[in-house]
Amino acid sequence: MDLPRPGSSAYLTIGWPSPHTFLSIISSIGGCIDFMELGIPAKRPIYDGPVIRLTHREASGLASGLRGAVTLAREAGIRLGKPVILMSYLSEFGGDVKALVEAAAQAEAISVLSPDLLFEYFDRIGDYIDVIRMYGMKPSFFVSSKFPHKILSKLASTNPLLIYLGLQPATGVKLPVAIYRNLRLARSIIGPRTYLLAGFSIRTPEAAESVVMAGADAVVVGSEVVRRYRSGGLDSVANLLCSIRKALVVSVG
């Protein structure tokens, strides 16, 4: 499956803020995104920022464990009518790549993205690629702007579904980082064909448009979705995501 260019996406932790409301949010944003990232609540979401970390804590236990989270993710995909990418820390599965990929398959996701795969389980990358292809899915990789260029190039050569570039050190944290320079550099390394998804601290349509113009194929919004829900409810979330998608479509006119 090929993802649209440009594309817009959102992230939610499965079951947050409650299973019922989670599905209500999902139902309200299907027309505002091209694909969705759903995260299994983690005990140690160490690569997430404070806003998303809190959703992991608040969702923990609400989805009745892994089985409940997978069931909710599958239901979310049906309601969205859009592709779902499952996100989970491999540490939550004790480093068991097969168990991680099986969870994604049960959730009827098109791929599974693990933030700690390349950082803490580097020796398991080959296993991850083999297993996910065995289940009929394509691999996805999360990288930071400090990743070695040689490895980034090698990941692109595996024909992944996408490479997710974190523009900031953590989700929802905005620091004076040269994000546009890093995007252009990543694009030059992975080439024009590899799908480049950018996230972390994208809060407005203008920011999303600038990120795509700098070389990303798509953006994902997570922390700002949480903030908008807390401050303005479902309508505020849908308005944000629809305005971002509209800005991206207009930008390529």
Which amino acids are annotated catalytic? 37, 48
DSSP symbol at 123: G
Helix (H) or strand (E) holding 252: helix 223-252
Dump the DSSP string for 43-78. Answer: S--TTS-HHHHHHHHHHTTTT-HHHHHHHHHHHHHH
* DSSP E strand stretches across the chain: 7-13, 35-39, 84-87, 111-113, 140-144, 162-166, 196-199, 218-221
Closest of 21, 24, 25 to residue 225, by C-alpha: 25
Q: How far apart are CA 41 and CA 54, in angstroms?
A: 10
Closest of 136, 157, 148, 213 to residue 180, by C-alpha: 213
Q: How far apart are CA 29 and CA 100, in angstroms?
A: 27
What are the backbone angles phi and psi of residue 203, rounded to the nearest 5°?
A: -120, -15
Helix (H, G, I), strand (E, B) or coil at 35: strand
